[in-house]
A and B are shown apart, each in its own frame.
Chain A
Amino acid sequence: MILLLQEAAHAAGQASETGGTFTPLLPGLIILLPLLGFVANGLLSVLAARRALPRFAAVGSDHGHGHDDNQASEQEHHDHGSDPHPADHAHDVHGHDAHGHDDHGHAHGPKPFTHVLPSFIATGVLLAAFAIALANFFRMRAGHPTTPWVHEYWSWMPVGTLSVGASLQLDQLSMLMTLIVTGVGSLIHIFSIGYMNEDPGYPRFMAYLNLFIFFMLTLVLGASYPVMFVGWEGVGLCSYLLIGFWFKEKANADAGKKAFIVNRIGDFGFLIAMFLLFWNVGKLDFVGVNEALTKSGGPLVFGGAVVTAIALFFFLGACGKSAQIPLYVWLPDAMAGPTPVSALIHAATMVTAGVYLVVRSNGIFAMAPKASLVVAIVGALTAIFAASIGLKQWDIKKVLAYSTVSQLGFMFAGVGMGAYTAGVFHLMTHAFFKACLFLGSGAVIHSMHAALHATHSDADAQDMRNMGGLRKYLPITFWTMGLATLAIAGIPPLAGFFSKDEIVGAAWDGAHDQLGLVSGLRSVGSDGTTWLWLIWAALSIASFMTAFYMGRMMIYTFFGDNRTGETERKHLHEGSWTLTLPLVVLAAASVLGGFLNVEAEVPIVRNLNLLGLGESLHHWLEPVLEPSARVMAQAGIAAPQVEHTATPILIAIVLGVLGLGLAWGMLASRKLRVATEEPSYGNVPERVLYNKYYVDELYDRIVVRPVGWLSRLEAGFDKYVIDGTVDLVGRMVQWVGFAAGRVQTGQVNTYAFMILVGVVGVLAALTRFAL
């Protein structure tokens, strides 16, 4: 984003205020590059696996293609500048020196080329994709298109009246999502170099990451629901592969399966919505669907049952992918995967696919105000529900996981209320500070693992009770995570303050009958103001809880006395630049990202607007949100006149400060204890929160076990009825064969007798015939 802001100043002169045309530059390459990276890294992982076998102990040969990639990636590497902090350990030095020189790296230590090349291939293709996306962003800003650019590469499903092509669509929303995916993804790939490089499965990990980016870009750049669905299923597959990356442990493999199955339940809703859409509209591409929504005499009616069902089924799909009630249970267990996976897939990109789907279908959701209200209510419920669980988790990644579920609830509350820009805004800022928090927790865990491993301690490296005082040992991580914590707590002027306040502010407006959704609900005979008050209250309490649990996490991890141990403490240190650089960039984005969507009345933003930097996100997304505006206009619902008031902003600030202050007051003065001394919970409410309201146990009892019983019943049916029938037929044939076999006595006399009888019979028949 820093580069973006700097380059935007040069592009300001080209900007024009009138809607124009937009021709993208190499759009297919944005998707193709990660796929090529996946193929190359996949081959390297196969090579690495073969080299692990005793027969292939010899050193593998270098590839010319790999050499070319080395050169290209080396350029990207140099663009990042020199290492700001000298590495403390030899293996980091070797890793640093090894880039681009396989023989050199091999001569210096254990890293074979199969562990060096993936760093440059995976990161290089992603940085290249980000560069292309950035170039297209500037072109789009200059062109100001009012209609999306759509290109069909080939005809995919020409079936009867349905004509689905393999098409890409570039508009303001997909451009924003592409920048987030490739930008934050690039940083997380860089982080993975330092975090995962010692893992024997490193090439496989980088291959999976690249494959995930490919599918995520297919999702956000697809021009129709079927193409989006390809990416949708693909990211589910990659989520399964990466969550269960360390599949040799059963818990990790189970977590991967849980994610896959729960996502599949949601995907069922996506499919149903597509079928309903095709059945009623006859089109599945975004442009076609949006045109059909406001066609006079069209099949869909404002507030009608069909459009409401379509919206609700889309939301079911979004619930699975974006971990909302009741399909959120997979996300905390997804922390079983490596931490860069949590940062990329389960904080910044995949889990936002549901929000993207709702915003992409804004015309449909605007047409179904009751469904939109359901989205907002579920989002608010999820926000407060997950935030309360986060209050009593001890695993640092679990705290962040429930925080992610909660923040996704905020986004859905926003888009459900029709505040699509606010939801997208929070999606973007959340990608910055939550990715920073997850990577920071990865740096903490990386350091804790090294410390505990050095003394062979069996303490849990992810339990915050075993940490403490880390700000002295990991200063960069402390400051970057601190900024991200303040951002997510909603402290002005950081990013989360603006984006979260806009969502909570929308609820406040709705509660005061200044929201289009409330007018829409009234037109279909419902009163929305009471619901909006409840949503506002839930979101406010969730904001307060967010500040508290984030403060608690920071205090347990970085403040107070260090609880790692006397001998372990010496091994605590900051990681290499590949771990710290992404943290710094993301922290800076958390500080600056909020200014991308601020009202022009704020003086600093007015100055930014003059420079062309601070173009409002709302203005940017207007062409994408035009279908919902058109639907509301056709339904006769006037745009609400919003009176801005400082009250909700002040309440939000006070809640954030109170949350942080309460955490500090409760914990900072207390002597914190290690996991063996501090119990996981003290009283009944704490036990309920620690056990996550026993939802996993409830699902196990009402879903998993009945499915098990049903499976065993069906297995019994298959074994005793179906197989039994087939076996019976087989045994009958066997018995007939056995009985017929009795004739074979092996005795010549018997055979002669039978021949004699036959001859006599034939002669008798012939004689009778003759007579």
Chain B
Amino acid sequence: MSDVIPLQASLGLSAVLFAIGAAGVVLRRNAIILFMCVELMLNAVNLAFVALSPYAGVQGQVFVFFVIAVAAAEAAVGLAIVISVFRHKESVDIKNFSLLRW
């Protein structure tokens, strides 16, 4: 199978993408970019599912569609909330979203 991308390469890329997304969620302060980082993590998982499907069965590919649907819904609801808060706070910096603290 010299013409096929090796499994290790796919999983490695998936791990790198997930790490970049997680770092973004923890470090970035822009709410919209935060959502983009969440998308990175979700798509990294999708890549892992697809990479493993030839070995574990077709369920992985089916699951990818579920994840894409949930991500779409999450992005829609999340962005709606961000727009509402923006109208109230006039900022997308999450440092200003701290009403629920002690």
In the complex where A741-B102, A744-B101, A744-B102 touch, is A749 in contact with B29 (Cβ < 8 A)?
yes
- Would you list which residues of chain A between 715 and 746 have a CB under 8 Å from chain B? 741-742, 744-746
CB-CB under 8 A from A745, the residues of chain B are 98, 101
CB-CB under 8 A from A748, the residues of chain B are 34, 94, 97
Q: How far is the CA of A744 from the CA of B97 in the complex (A)?
A: 13
Q: How far is the CA of A752 from the CA of B21 in the complex (A)?
A: 12
CB-CB under 8 A from B94, the residues of chain A are 747-749
Q: How far is the CA of A753 from the CA of B29 in the complex (A)?
A: 13
A741, A742, A748, A756: residue with the most chain B Cβ atoms closer than 10 Å: A748
Asked if B100 lies at the interface with its beta carbon under 8 angstroms from chain A, I say: yes
CB-CB under 8 A from A744, the residues of chain B are 101-102
| B27 partner, pick from A741, A746, A747, A749, beta carbons under 8 A | A749
* Nearest CB in chain B to that of A759: its residue: B22
- Tell whether, in the assembled complex, residue B102 and residue A749 are in contact, meaning their CB atoms are under 8 Å apart: no
CB-CB under 8 A from A753, the residues of chain B are 26
CB-CB under 8 A from B97, the residues of chain A are 746, 748
Q: How far is the CA of A635 from the CA of B34 in the complex (A)?
A: 109
* Nearest CB in chain A to that of B28: its residue: A749
- Tell whether, in the assembled complex, residue A752 and residue B98 are in contact, meaning their CB atoms are under 8 Å apart: no
- Would you list which residues of chain A between 738 and 771 have a CB under 8 Å from chain B? 741-742, 744-749, 752-753, 756
Closest chain A CB from B41 CB (angstroms): 10
CB-CB under 8 A from A742, the residues of chain B are 102
- Tell whether, in the assembled complex, residue A746 and residue B25 are in contact, meaning their CB atoms are under 8 Å apart: no
* Nearest CB in chain B to that of A760: its residue: B22
Closest chain A CB from B42 CB (angstroms): 15
Q: How far is the CA of A422 from the CA of B29 in the complex (A)?
A: 105
Q: How far is the CA of A742 from the CA of B101 in the complex (A)?
A: 9
- The 0/1 profile, CB within 8 Å of A marked 1, for residues 15-50 of chain B is 000000010011101000010000000000000000
CB-CB under 8 A from A756, the residues of chain B are 22, 25-26
In the complex where A747-B94, A747-B95 touch, is A752 in contact with B25 (Cβ < 8 A)?
yes
- Tell whether, in the assembled complex, residue A752 and residue B99 are in contact, meaning their CB atoms are under 8 Å apart: no
Q: How far is the CA of A756 from the CA of B34 in the complex (A)?
A: 15
CB-CB under 8 A from B102, the residues of chain A are 741-742, 744, 746
* Nearest CB in chain A to that of B94: its residue: A748
- Tell whether, in the assembled complex, residue A746 and residue B22 are in contact, meaning their CB atoms are under 8 Å apart: no
Closest chain A CB from B20 CB (angstroms): 13
- Tell whether, in the assembled complex, residue B98 and residue A747 are in contact, meaning their CB atoms are under 8 Å apart: yes
- Tell whether, in the assembled complex, residue B26 and residue A746 are in contact, meaning their CB atoms are under 8 Å apart: no
Closest chain B CB from A760 CB (angstroms): 10
* Nearest CB in chain B to that of A757: its residue: B26
Q: How far is the CA of A745 from the CA of B101 in the complex (A)?
A: 5
Interface size on B, residues (CB 8 A): 14
Q: How far is the CA of A753 from the CA of B27 in the complex (A)?
A: 9
- Tell whether, in the assembled complex, residue B98 and residue A746 are in contact, meaning their CB atoms are under 8 Å apart: yes
CB-CB under 8 A from B25, the residues of chain A are 749, 752, 756
CB-CB under 8 A from B34, the residues of chain A are 748
Q: How far is the CA of A749 from the CA of B101 in the complex (A)?
A: 13
* Nearest CB in chain B to that of A748: its residue: B94
CB-CB under 8 A from B98, the residues of chain A are 745-747
- The 0/1 profile, CB within 8 Å of A marked 1, for residues 77-101 of chain B is 0000000000000000011011111
* Nearest CB in chain A to that of B101: its residue: A746
Closest chain A CB from B34 CB (angstroms): 8
Closest chain A CB from B89 CB (angstroms): 14
- Tell whether, in the assembled complex, residue A746 and residue B99 are in contact, meaning their CB atoms are under 8 Å apart: yes
Closest chain A CB from B82 CB (angstroms): 11
- The 0/1 profile, CB within 8 Å of A marked 1, for residues 31-73 of chain B is 0001000000000000000000000000000000000000000
Q: How far is the CA of A747 from the CA of B96 in the complex (A)?
A: 9
* Nearest CB in chain A to that of B29: its residue: A749
CB-CB under 8 A from B26, the residues of chain A are 749, 752-753, 756
* Nearest CB in chain A to that of B22: its residue: A756
Closest chain B CB from A737 CB (angstroms): 9
* Nearest CB in chain A to that of B98: its residue: A746
Q: How far is the CA of A525 from the CA of B33 in the complex (A)?
A: 111
* Nearest CB in chain B to that of A749: its residue: B26
CB-CB under 8 A from A749, the residues of chain B are 25-27, 29, 94
Closest chain B CB from A743 CB (angstroms): 8
CB-CB under 8 A from A746, the residues of chain B are 97-102
CB-CB under 8 A from B22, the residues of chain A are 756
Closest chain B CB from A747 CB (angstroms): 6
- Would you list which residues of chain A between 479 and 519 have a CB under 8 Å from chain B? none
CB-CB under 8 A from B95, the residues of chain A are 747
Q: How far is the CA of A745 from the CA of B25 in the complex (A)?
A: 16
Q: How far is the CA of A756 from the CA of B26 in the complex (A)?
A: 9
CB-CB under 8 A from B29, the residues of chain A are 749
CB-CB under 8 A from B99, the residues of chain A are 746
Closest chain B CB from A753 CB (angstroms): 5
* Nearest CB in chain B to that of A745: its residue: B101
* Nearest CB in chain B to that of A737: its residue: B102
A741, A744, A752: residue with the most chain B Cβ atoms closer than 10 Å: A752
Q: How far is the CA of A39 from the CA of B97 in the complex (A)?
A: 70
- The 0/1 profile, CB within 8 Å of B marked 1, for residues 627-649 of chain A is 00000000000000000000000
Q: How far is the CA of A228 from the CA of B22 in the complex (A)?
A: 87
Closest chain A CB from B25 CB (angstroms): 5
* Nearest CB in chain B to that of A741: its residue: B102
CB-CB under 8 A from B101, the residues of chain A are 744-747
Interface residues of B (CB under 8 A from A): 22, 25-27, 29, 34, 94-95, 97-102
Interface residues of A (CB under 8 A from B): 741-742, 744-749, 752-753, 756
Beyond A744-B101, A756-B22: 10 further Cβ-contacts under 8 Å?
Answer: A741-B102, A745-B101, A746-B97, A746-B100, A746-B102, A747-B94, A747-B95, A747-B98, A747-B101, A756-B25
For the complex of A and B, 6 pairs with smallest distance between CB atoms: A746-B101, A746-B98, A744-B102, A741-B102, A753-B26, A744-B101
A-B contact pairs, 25 of them (CB 8 A): A741-B102, A744-B101, A744-B102, A745-B98, A745-B101, A746-B97, A746-B99, A746-B101, A746-B102, A747-B94, A747-B95, A747-B98, A747-B101, A748-B34, A748-B94, A748-B97, A749-B25, A749-B26, A749-B29, A749-B94, A752-B25, A752-B26, A753-B26, A756-B25, A756-B26
